């Protein structure tokens, strides 16, 4: 299955790495009988890809009686403090699952698209090395045939376990691809594309739509019908 992808940003696009096929590490346990030697565990990463962090980030949470503050720790953090607010979006505390589980979103401007009905699943990078494991990606799944939009890295941070620390190159999330019968596609071929006028027009259809419209399923169906006459993979 051929699946196209691109990076939808005009700023420093060179820092965004290609998706990488996920491969489990070798079992380095003393007796060589750790869980990484188990075939069923190793097969969990079959046909998964991951997106790595283009930057290093360390955040610290300070709780006060009437408020809280989150601030970057330097020099570890690579994003300039003056522009970090443009990358870091902390959800209002009324939407958190727990007062210690902060929900944060950061842009991840990857767009995936196909000329066949395919669903992309985004999830936490289990079995892959993380610098610190006090956070988890909020999973999601959507139709990349009908709906061309940038991904987003949304995650929960458990502040009881200390600073959030992400090193450049750490996996942020994994990707799986499913066909119209909801079966995992096992022969994925990812190809990088430049943004064409046709793709740019498709992206503009959904840009910022959740800010002005609730309940977009009917719009996705409308977009799906329009795709029948459009080929994005060339």
154, 137 Cβ separation under 8 angstroms: yes
Range of the domain at 217: 2-227
The answer to whether position 232 is within a domain reads: no
At residue 105, the 3 state secondary structure works out as strand
**How many domains does the chain fold into?**
1
What is the number of H-type helices and E-type strands within the chain?
4, 15
The answer to whether position 233 is within a domain reads: no
Strands (E), the chain: 2-7, 20-21, 49-52, 57-63, 68-72, 89-90, 101-108, 110-113, 119-123, 135-137, 140-143, 151-158, 164-166, 171-178, 189-192
The answer to whether position 6 is within a domain reads: yes
Average pLDDT across the chain, whole number: 94
At residue 98, the 3 state secondary structure works out as strand
Q: Which long-range contacts (CB under 8 A, 24 or more apart) does 221-227 make?
A: 221/146, 223/146, 223/147, 224/143, 224/145, 224/146, 227/145, 227/146, 227/202
The pLDDT of residue 62: 96
The answer to whether position 181 is within a domain reads: yes
Residue 162's region, left for phi above 0, alpha for psi from -120 to 50, else beta, is left
Percent of the chain with pLDDT over 90: 87
DSSP 24: P
**pLDDT digits 0-9 by tens, 205-233:** 888 887 787 778 899 999 999 999 899 99
202, 219 Cβ separation under 8 angstroms: no
71-80, 118-127, 142-151, 218-227 — which is least confidently predicted?
Answer: 218-227
**pLDDT digits 0-9 by tens, 2-20:** 999 999 998 889 999 999 9
The answer to whether position 116 is within a domain reads: yes
Q: Which has the higher per-residue pLDDT, 32 or 18?
A: 18
The pLDDT of residue 86: 87
Residue 110 has pLDDT above 90, yes or no: yes
Q: Which has the higher per-residue pLDDT, 111 or 228?
A: 111
The pLDDT of residue 51: 98
The answer to whether position 234 is within a domain reads: no
Find the helix or strand (DSSP H, E) in which 7 lies: strand 2-7
CATH number at residue 149: 2.70.40.10
The pLDDT of residue 234: 82
The answer to whether position 88 is within a domain reads: yes
- Model confidence, pTM: 0.94
**Confidence band for 39, pLDDT divided at 50, 70 and 90:** very high
**pLDDT digits 0-9 by tens, 146-200:** 999 999 999 999 999 999 999 999 999 999 999 999 999 999 999 999 999 999 9
């Amino acid at each position: 299955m051929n699946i196209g992808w691109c990076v939808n940003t005009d700023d420093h696009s060179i820092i965004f790495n290609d998706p990488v096929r996920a491969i489990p590490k070798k079992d380095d346990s003393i007796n060589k009988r750790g869980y990484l030697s188990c075939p069923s565990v190793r097969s969990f990463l079959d046909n998964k890809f991951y997106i790595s962090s283009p930057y290093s980030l360390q955040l610290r949470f300070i709780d006060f009686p009437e408020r809280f503050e989150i601030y970057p720790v330097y020099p570890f953090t690579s994003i300039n403090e003056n522009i970090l607010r443009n990358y870091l979006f902390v959800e209002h505390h009324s939407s958190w699952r727990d007062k210690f589980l902060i929900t944060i979103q950061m842009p991840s401007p990857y767009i995936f698209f196909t000329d066949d009905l395919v669903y992309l699943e985004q999830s936490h990078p289990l079995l892959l090395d993380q610098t610190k494991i006090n956070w988890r990606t909020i999973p999601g799944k959507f139709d990349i045939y009908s709906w061309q939009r940038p991904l987003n890295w949304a995650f929960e941070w458990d502040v009881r376990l200390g600073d959030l620390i992400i090193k450049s190159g750490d996996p942020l999330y994994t990707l799986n691809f499913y066909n119209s019968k909801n079966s995992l596609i096992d022969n994925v071929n990812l190809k990088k594309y430049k943004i064409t006028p046709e793709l740019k027009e498709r992206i503009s259809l959904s840009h910022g739509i959740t800010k002005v419209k609730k309940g977009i399923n009917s719009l996705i169906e409308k977009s799906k019908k329009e795709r029948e006459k459009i080929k994005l993979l060339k």
